[in-house]
Amino acid sequence: MTTDPTPPAGSADTPRPQVRPQRTTRAGPATQAGPTPQNESATQTGIAGATRAAGAGPAPGQLSRTLPSWQLRGWLALSCLIVVGSIAAWAGLHLFMVAVLLASAAYAAMRPDSHAPTAFLALAAGVVVFSGADLSAWILPAVLGFHASHVLAAFAALAPWDAAVEYVALRPALRRFVVVQAASQFLALLALLVAG
């Protein structure tokens, strides 16, 4: 009697064909796998990063958008230029003295964490005092520039070149700056009216 070694169909011993899953390629839509939670999470993270890079909102863990430190130094340089320009027009400075003030202002903007901003403001104030110039309307931008340079240098001294400062940290100082400037400009205008 001959025994067939092949097990009957439907039996548990019947070998089943192995089906290998298709690899995900970029050849066409037929071989591409559908979206996965990992892919969707990565896409959402990329969109959120692009949105923050465009300045649309703060990053996670931040209270507000940020101001790069190099822009803070740029505003400091602009305020120093206001000081130099107003003093040069007010006191009629020689070109050599203007060049000295500009060099001092440039170094103060590059190194706000040193004594350069203090030296610049002291030099500018000394030039005004010892120039013997009469009181004029140029005192208004000079007061603005002196105050702005002092405040911006204090913030820039704490932020390295590759850092950023949140706007919410600057708001209290900005409010104080506006209040002090309003009072200072009022007193300067009053002095001009009395002197004129």
Q: What is the DSSP string of 22-64?
A: PPP-SS-TTSPPPP-HHHHHHHHHHHHHHHHHTTSSPPTT-SS
pLDDT (0 to 100) of residue 79: 96
pLDDT (0 to 100) of residue 196: 72
Tens digit of pLDDT per residue, the chain (196 long)?
444 555 455 444 545 545 444 444 444 444 444 444 444 444 444 433 333 443 445 555 555 678 888 888 999 999 999 999 999 999 888 999 999 999 999 999 999 999 999 999 999 999 998 988 888 899 999 999 999 999 999 989 988 888 888 888 888 989 999 999 999 999 999 999 998 7
> Where in the chain does DSSP place strands (E)?
66-68, 164-166
Q: For residue 194, which phi and psi values (nearest 5 degrees)?
A: -70, -40
Count of CA atoms in the C-beta half-sphere (13 A) of 100 = 13
pLDDT (0 to 100) of residue 73: 92
Distance CA 39, CA 19 (A): 25
pLDDT (0 to 100) of residue 95: 93
Q: Which amino acid appears at position 63 of this protein?
A: L
Number of C-beta neighbours around residue 35 at 10 A: 9
pLDDT (0 to 100) of residue 140: 94
pLDDT (0 to 100) of residue 37: 46
Contacts of 151 (CB under 8 A, 6+ apart): 173, 177
**Could you state, in order of their start, the residue ranges of all structural domains in the chain?**
66-195
pTM > 0.85: yes or no: no
Distance CA 30, CA 24 (A): 9
Q: Which amino acid appears at position 184 of this protein?
A: S
| Spatial contact of 146 and 121, defined as CB atoms under 8 Å apart | yes
pLDDT (0 to 100) of residue 133: 84
